[in-house]
Amino acid sequence: MNQVISLPLADPGTPVISSPTAYLRWVGKGQWRTLVVAICFGIVWLVSQALFPAAMGKAIDEGIIGGDTRSLLRWCAILVGLVTVSAFSGVLRHRYAVVNWMQGAFRSAQLVGHKAADTGEALTRAIPTGDVVATVSSDSMRIGGLYDMLARFAGSVVSYVVVALILIKASTPLGLVVLVGVPVLVGCLTFIVRPLQARQLAQREESGKLIGLGADTVAGLRVLRGIGGEQTFLSRYAVQSQSVREVGNRVAGYQAALDAAQVLLPGLFVLVVVWLGARFAIDGQITAGQLVAFYGYTAFLVIPLRNATEMVDRATRAHIGARKLTRVLAVQPDQVEGASTQPLPAGPARLHDPVSQVTIEPGQFTAVVSARPEDSAALADRLGRFGANETDVRLDGTRLADAPLADVRRRIVVSENEPRLFTGTLRDELDPWGEHDDATILEALSVASGDDVLEALPAGLDNEVEERGRAFSGGQRQRLALTRALLTGAETLVLVEPTSAVDAHTEARIAGRLTAARRGRTTVVMSASPLLLDQADHVVFLRDGTVAAAGPHDRLMTEHPDYRRTVVRGEED
């Protein structure tokens, strides 16, 4: 038991995502042992309850009407035994049902988490962030709910068959009514379930849009306040909220009809069976004890009927959730391993991008200036083998696209201009692999001029970083991200606008310390800052995404007016 509730799962497995049904079947196979145990307890739980009326009927016929005290006591003891078995198996059924729910839900949530980590921006380009959040928080829970319900549903099916056989043996007409009537009643529910499923799917779509809008608003709250756009986004959120309310009202009508059917249909069924049983008792076809038992059977059958109705509802919700989840899991990362891989050349090597004609010499501090910043950012993505488009960037003749992706990530590290910080301690944030001691981390912080950031934290390196690092300013986040990049010790370090959010004095310190710290290793900086350009061994100027000029910063400032205008404009900005 300790093994089956060890969550999160060490390995959620490789899912089958060809269809929602195939995915649900795969999840079930992954936890078949606990499903079988839960189903067994579910069958014992409900079958023991189904036999209550039989014991009561025998006690009435043989003990009370027949005047046999010993038979009365025997059947009473059997009834107590059935109650005990039902209670014991019910507890275990519930326990394993919860285990199945948690396994199904956590497995699905973990798969989405792993997919988000593997695909990165490719996922949010394909599916809105709000939809991904809703898949984890809502859809995975609905998928788990299906496996929670399976034990009760299996017990309902078996107990229904047991009751039908008992009734047929006692009275063939009544038995046939039960045998045929229950499937007919469940079939009637399809007229409600099908339109309900369509409306639930529409509600899920609108809810995902609302969550996405909320997530985007929170992420850009500072910008919104800066430009006075809060009211515009508030109006958009209100409009979308009303759309969710409207589709929710449409779902509520059919959901209410389904809930009403859970009461009405079993009630009508009980009424018909009891009426027929009373007629048979009056005609002498069945005994008084059998009549009481028949009423007990029909009252009991309300449980299987409601369970069947709930199973239909759970299956509908799980199928919708699985459809959304398989859509997320079908997204492919921008970069995947090819059919064959070639090892990267050992030691420092020349990096060449044929698109821009930029060549990065090993061991140098190279700065890239672009009249359009998006061109230099795109170059950084190509140099690090990021982005959706496969490139022909080569490291001493070996295409990065042909090399193992893990080797590329180890040898070439790209630090983007919008640093991403995660929750956890600052030490884990800066050194996620735990490879460095505090002295090394502090040294890297000093290079990034982040000493003051650390001094302001009460717990120092053990201080907790809030979500997205929102407690830090933009300049502080940049310096922490630079520290993290430096601690990788990468052979080639590509930095995109690493000092754009800091003041000139801090930027000057970083430029000098960065040059000294990275001496002898390849460093590429995408920036138009004169303070960084002064430290560069080599400067490349891009116009329209290709090399327009290259050389020392001072010479380019003198000989190339376009370069000078770009640098001066960047300095003014």
pLDDT of residue 135: 86
Q: Nearest-CA neighbor of 181 among 171, 191, 192, 173?
A: 173
C-alpha dihedral sign at 220, 221, 226, 229: positive
CATH of the domain at 389: 3.40.50.300
Verify that 152 and 206 share a domain, yes or no.
yes
Task: Give 395's strand partners.
Answer: 351, 398
The one-letter amino acid code at 333 reads: P
Same domain? For 301 and 408 the reply is: no
Sign of the alpha-carbon torsion through 501, 504, 505, 509: positive
Q: Are 94 and 87 in contact (CB under 8 A)?
A: no
CA-atom Rg of the chain in angstroms: 34
* Band (189; pLDDT cuts 50, 70, 90): confident
Ramachandran angles phi, psi of 425, nearest 5°: -75, 155
DSSP assignment of 176-224 equals HHHHHHHHHHHHHTHHHHHHHHHHHHHHHHHHHHHHHHHHHHHHTHHHH
* 359 in the same domain as 288: no
Q: Would you state the pLDDT for residue 223?
A: 61
Q: Is residue 345 part of a domain?
A: no
**Residue 468 — pLDDT band, cuts 50, 70, 90?**
confident
Instruction: Answer positive or negative: Cα dihedral of 404, 406, 412, 417.
Output: positive
Residues 280 and 378 in one domain: no
What DSSP designation does 382 have? H
Tell me, yes or no, whether 302 and 451 share the same domain: no
Whether 362 and 266 map to the same domain: the answer is no
The pLDDT-based confidence of 1 (bands split at 50, 70, 90) is very low
pLDDT at position 419, please? 78
* 3-state secondary structure string across 427-440: HHHHCCCCCCCHHH
Residue 376, pLDDT > 60, answer yes
**100-109, 207-216, 457-466, 471-480: segment of lowest average pLDDT:** 207-216
Distance of CA 464 to the CA centre of its chain: 24
End-of-domain residue from the set 280, 298, 329: 329
* Residue 434: partners with Cβ closer than 8 Å, 6 or more residues away: 428
Q: Within this chain, do residues 494 and 566 fall inside the same structural domain, yes or no? A: yes
370 with 324, same domain: the answer is: no
251 shares its domain with 319 = yes
Which of 264, 294, 329 is the endpoint of a domain?
A: 329
Segment 107-124 shows an average pLDDT of 89
The answer to whether residue 344 is domain-embedded is no
For residue 1, is it within any domain? no
**Is 261 inside a domain boundary?**
yes
Give yes or no for a contact between 92 and 143, defined as CB atoms under 8 angstroms apart.
no
Distances (CA, A) of 207 to 317, 346, 366, 441, 467: 14, 51, 48, 44, 23
Do 498 and 366 sit in the same domain of this protein?
yes
Whether pLDDT at 96 is above 60: yes
3-state secondary structure of 436: coil
Region 462-488: mean pLDDT is 90
CA–CA distance, 124 with 131 (Å, rounded to integer): 9
Asked if residue 359 and residue 325 are part of one domain, the reply reads: no
Domain-located, residue 147: yes
User: What residues contact 128, with CB distance under 8 A and at least 6 apart?
Assistant: 208, 209, 212
pLDDT of residue 573: 54
pLDDT exceeds 90 at position 395: yes
The token pair that represents 209 in the structure block: 């849009």
CA distance 211 to 285: 63
Within 220-356, residue ranges assigned H as helices are 221-227, 230-282, 288-300, 302-329
**How do residues 20-33 score in pLDDT, each as one tens digit?**
999 999 999 999 99
Residue 299 shares a structural domain with residue 443: no
Which tokens go with 218?
């929170």
41 pLDDT above the threshold of 50:
yes
Q: Is 566:371 a contact under the CB 8 Å cutoff?
A: yes
Residue 532 neighbours by CB under 8 Å, 6+ apart: 367, 499, 507, 511, 525
Write down the mean pLDDT value for the chain: 87
Q: Which residue has the tokens 């930027």?
A: 507
Token pair listed for 229: 């756009």
Read off the pLDDT of each residue in 382-396 and give the average, rounded to a whole number.
83
Q: Is residue 478 part of a domain?
A: yes
Task: Give the pLDDT band of residue 3 (cuts 50, 70, 90).
Answer: very low
Q: 348 near 362, Cβ under 8 Å?
A: yes
- Please check whether residue 97 is in contact with residue 41, taking contact to mean a CB–CB distance below 8 angstroms: no
Report if residue 471 sits inside a domain: yes
Which range of 68-82, 247-261, 432-446 scores highest in mean pLDDT? It is 432-446
Structure tokens at 444: 């890297």
Determine the average pLDDT of the residues in 102-131: 88
Q: The domain containing residue 365 runs over which residues?
A: 351-572
Inter-axis angle of helices 20-30 and 302-329, to 10 degrees? 110
Q: Which residues make beta-bridge pairs with 243?
A: none
280-335 pLDDT per residue, tens: 888 888 777 777 787 788 778 878 888 887 898 899 889 989 999 999 999 988 77
The sheet that has 538-543: what strands, in order across it? 412-415, 492-496, 522-526, 365-370, 538-543, 546-551
CB 343 within 8 A of CB 407: yes
For residue 557, the cross-strand partners are none
User: Are the C-beta atoms of 352 and 393 separated by less than 8 Å?
Assistant: yes
Surface-to-core class of residue 507, CB atoms within 10 Å of its CB (0-12 exposed, 13-18 middle, 19+ buried): buried
The whole-number pLDDT of residue 430 equals: 94
First and final C-alpha spacing in the chain? 63
CA separation for the pair 504, 17 (Å, rounded): 52
Lowest model confidence (mean pLDDT) among 81-90, 174-183, 368-377, 495-504: 174-183
CA distance 431 to 417: 19
| pTM, full prediction | 0.71
Give CA–CA dist 4/137, Å, rounded: 22
CATH number of the CATH domain containing 166: 1.20.1560.10
User: What's the average model confidence in pLDDT over 44-60?
Assistant: 89
Residue 2: which pLDDT band, with cuts at 50, 70 and 90?
Answer: very low
**Comparing C-alpha atoms, which of 550, 534, 540, 542 is closest to residue 371?**
542
Whose CA is closest to 411, among 482, 489, 354? 489
Number of domains in the chain: 2
Is residue 82 included in any domain, yes or no? yes
Which among 297, 329, 361 is the end of a domain? 329
> How far apart, in whole angstroms, are the C-alpha atoms of residue 124 and residue 130?
9
Q: How many CB atoms lie within 10 A of CB 374?
A: 9
Least confident of 2-16, 423-437, 490-504, 520-534: 2-16
